[in-house]
Amino acid sequence: MMTPHINKSVSILTDGVGCARRLNARNVSVLDTGGDRGRGVFSARDFLPGEVVIIGHIERLERIRTTNSIQLNWDVHALFEKPAVIVNHSCDPNLAIVPNRFGAYDFIAIREIYSDVEVTWDYATSEFECIGISVCLCGAANCRGGVLGFSKLPPNHPMVVSRFYAPYLEETLSNFRGK
């Protein structure tokens, strides 16, 4: 009687990607934003701050930065699987990135998010230089107008102060602080 239960537990542990895909499908939906920004990702339930909203998974590594790639390290760029790749940028995001066990990023809620709200993250928190957005359409009150990457974020920016950025970028801040 115990065997089926044990097998099921093992399959969950070894099939982490399938599990992540199912969790993502339960947490969010890809919808048309109805504006110039095209598709976006919307919450399918309520989230508390700190909850994982999307588990990121790498579809393929990219040799160089592309308009859809996400930067993982100085010379490492990756195209993430849907829905992560579709999440739009905002200068006032409700998600932040955290490294995960797939070598990608999870997208966690940094404020309370109600159901049916577009989820966004700040692309400058992963990209040292950003080529995806020259004119930002996020509409936030604190919109920077364009997304130029982490290299152009002031050290006192809330996302920097809260340490909501890719770990490899810490090195650049040590350099700032060392000066």
Binding site for Zn ion (CB under 5 A): 91, 136, 138, 143
Residues of 42-68 as b/e, b for ≥16 C-beta within 10 angstroms?
bbeeebeeeebbbbbbbeeebeebeee
For the bound state, the minimum distance from the C-beta of residue 2 to Zn ion, rounded and expressed in Å, comes to: 54
- Of 113 and 147, CB closest to Zn ion: 147
- Of 104 and 148, CB closest to Zn ion: 148
Rounded to whole angstroms, how far apart are CA atoms 33 and 172? Answer: 35
For the bound state, the minimum distance from the C-beta of residue 76 to Zn ion, rounded and expressed in Å, comes to: 26
Rounded to whole angstroms, how far apart are CA atoms 108 and 117? Answer: 14
For the bound state, the minimum distance from the C-beta of residue 102 to Zn ion, rounded and expressed in Å, comes to: 28
Rounded to whole angstroms, how far apart are CA atoms 107 and 100? Answer: 9
Going by their DSSP bridges, the two strands 118-121 and 88-89 should be labelled as parallel
Q: Crossing angle for the helix pair 2-14 and 16-27, nearest 10 degrees?
A: 80
For the bound state, the minimum distance from the C-beta of residue 92 to Zn ion, rounded and expressed in Å, comes to: 7
- Of 143 and 173, CB closest to Zn ion: 143
Q: For residue 44, what are the contacts with CB-CB under 8 A and spacing of at least 6?
A: 26, 27, 28, 29, 115, 116
For the bound state, the minimum distance from the C-beta of residue 115 to Zn ion, rounded and expressed in Å, comes to: 24
- Of 70 and 130, CB closest to Zn ion: 130
- Of 11 and 151, CB closest to Zn ion: 151
